[in-house]
Structure 1
Amino acid sequence: MSEPNSETKSNYAKLLDPKSTVDEKLEIIEKNVKARLSVLLGLKTTSIPDQFNYIVDEVVAARFSRIGNEGMKSAGQDGLTLVFQDDDFSKFKNEIDEYRTGNTTGRQRGRVMFL
């Protein structure tokens, strides 16, 4: 297993540092989310098409709320239990798959006849 690079270490330290601003934390998370989504969409750049901005927003919010609890499946305190998804992008699988295959109209029904 390879060592994390210095940027990764620095970013993680900023995420856990209570002195870091919310904007700094959100910037790091958004950069990572866009990089991951671009891979899932099969893009060559991290420039995400506008129709997927809602995915970036939702995943950033989920990851921001999970800072300090990475790797946990759930966390509980004073009767409040939070359950985290294993994959933040799983609920968007259909949209991502449709984009990758070029089928942006959704499922279609039809009939095939052989003569």
Structure 2
Amino acid sequence: MAVLDDVKALLGIDDEDNKLNTIITLTESRLKTLLGASEVPSTLEYIVTEVAIARFNRIGSEGLSGHTVEGEALTFRDNDFEAYADDIQAWRDAQESGQDIGRIRFL
């Protein structure tokens, strides 16, 4: 799985396959729902990679929206996909207008 390898490489971990696969599966499911698609298009796989990393890094801190210790503050987003909303909308707009970005169609 390419996304799993990307996530592991970026996190520098080797023995977390089950946990990462679960995070990736859930992230893909959520993105497919947001896209209204049955599969995550390859052009948007980077979203799965980046959101999966963010979710992995928050393990143990689920539900925490902010934390401050000795001047260091941590704040988590409510919606992991918020930063990618424009990309998701652009993909949806292209699908609705019938454009197949990066594909050639012969009629």
TM over 0.5: yes
Residue of structure 2 in register with 1:84 after alignment: 76
* 1:73 partnered with 2:65: yes
Structure with the greater relative contact order (CA < 8 A, sep ≥ 6): 1 or 2? 2
Residue of structure 1 in register with 2:88 after alignment: 96
**1:49 aligns with one of 36, 41, 54:** 41
C-alpha displacement at 1:38, in angstroms? 0.2
* 1:23 partnered with 2:23: no
Q: Which has the higher helix share?
A: 2
In 2, Cα distance between equivalents of 1:36 and 1:99: 15
Residue of structure 1 in register with 2:9 after alignment: none
Residue of structure 1 in register with 2:30 after alignment: 36
In 1, Cα distance between equivalents of 2:20 and 2:85: 23
C-alpha displacement at 1:78, in angstroms? 5.4
* Bigger CA radius of gyration: 1
In 1, Cα distance between equivalents of 2:73 and 2:58: 13
Q: CA-atom RMSD, angstroms? A: 1.7
TM-score, length basis structure 1 = 0.64
**Native 8 Å contact 1:34 1:56 kept in 2:** yes
In 2, Cα distance between equivalents of 1:41 and 1:72: 27
TM-score, length basis structure 2 = 0.69
The one-letter code matched in structure 2 to 1:91 is A
Q: Which aligned segments of 4 or more residues in structure 1 are displaced greater than 4 angstroms?
A: none
Report how many residues are paired. 82
What's the % identity of the aligned pairs? 38
